[in-house]
Amino acid sequence: MSIDNKNYPIETLTLDTEAPAASRGHAERLAEEWQLAEDTFNGESVKHTISIFGSARIPDPETNNGNDCGHMASFYAEARELAFQLGRYIEESNLCDTRLITGGGPGIMEAASRGAFDAGHASIGLNIVIPREQKLNPFIAAKHSIEFQYFALRKMHFLKRARALIVFPGGFGTLDELFETLTLIQTKKMPRIPIILYGADFWNRLLDLEILLECGLIDKDNLELYHVVSTVEEAFNALQPVLQELD
């Protein structure tokens, strides 16, 4: 890997030949996984993405069979509809360098991939190998699916080209991705992008970040880094400025 900085000479980073074989193998796998994703995005000429997160457990309301999250199935339908509208806008506006991306798995990820598929938009899936729930959904072409072993690299690619983030209800993984994004924006490690939290009842019950402000742990303007919506129309309208910039 090369580093090019105006304050430093170009140099090449190499692995210590005396490093343990396991450490070298680990570093090589990290590099290969990063490059695989880069090759996929660059091969499709993707410059901008809109990332959609959410639980793998939320079922399709049409096929819900006693799922523990069955009462949340409406979010599947709404994620599908929102992705359809976004995908249709991207295609009709001929935004060839813009793609919707999801986690590639079931639940909300499948809903978003499916909505994009319905609109004739080829979304990209960043799949992850984990013991439970995750499996590639059928609405992403094989060439548009990237399988990760490492959460860190997956999250980096979710955000590297992101122009907006849409977060549906989810568990620890969804919250991890949300709070990492908020942290990166707060600390100015990445540009500010719209963060849309879908489902006011869910998010208002889960997040009471005012307590962080009361304790002096965040600044007041940090509470403006995300926007809570309750309908597909609200979400789409909130993303209009981003979509218009991409036109």
What is this structure's pTM? 0.88
Spatial neighbors of 153 by CB under 8 A, at least 6 apart, are 30, 33, 34, 37
Instruction: Find the mean pLDDT for residues 202-231.
Output: 97
H or E segment and range at residue 100: strand 98-102
Helix (H) / strand (E) containing 126 = strand 124-128
The proportion of the chain whose per-residue pLDDT surpasses 90, expressed as a percent, equals 74
Q: Dump the DSSP string for 155-194.
A: HHHHHHTEEEEEE-S--HHHHHHHHHHHHHHHTTSS----
User: What's residue 154's pLDDT?
Assistant: 93
Quick one: fold of 15-246? Rossmann fold (3.40.50)
**Cα–Cα distance for residue pair 228/194, rounded to 1 Å:** 11
Q: Indicate if the alpha-carbon torsion angle 102, 106, 108, 110 is positive or negative.
A: positive
Q: How far is CA 234 from CA 13, 190, 197, in A?
A: 47, 25, 11
pLDDT at 16 > cutoff 70: no
Average pLDDT of every residue of the chain: 90
Residue 8 has pLDDT above 50, yes or no: no
DSSP sequence for 6-71: TTEEEEE----TTS-HHHHHHHHHHHHHHHHHHHHHHHTT--EEEEEE--SSPPPTTT--S-TTGG
Domain ranges for the chain, please list them.
Answer: 15-246
Mean pLDDT calculated for residue range 9-29: 67
β pairing state of 195-198 and 227-229: parallel
* pLDDT of residue 5 exceeding 70: no
Q: What CA–CA distance (Å, rounded) separates 56 from 185?
A: 26
Residue 155 near residue 180 (C-beta atoms within 8 A): yes
Q: Contact at 8 Å (CB) between 85 and 121? A: no
> Residues 103-120: pLDDT tens digits?
999 999 999 999 999 999
- Indicate whether 146 pLDDT > 50: yes
Please tell me the predicted confidence (pLDDT) of residue 20. Answer: 76
- Beta bridge mates, 128: 148
Per residue in 59-96, pLDDT (tens digit) is 999 987 777 899 999 999 999 999 999 999 999 999 99
Q: Is the pLDDT of residue 152 over 70?
A: yes
Residue 121 pLDDT greater than 90, yes or no: yes
Residues 146/124, Cβ–Cβ less than 8 Å: yes
Q: What angle do CA 216, 218, 220 make, to 5 degrees?
A: 95
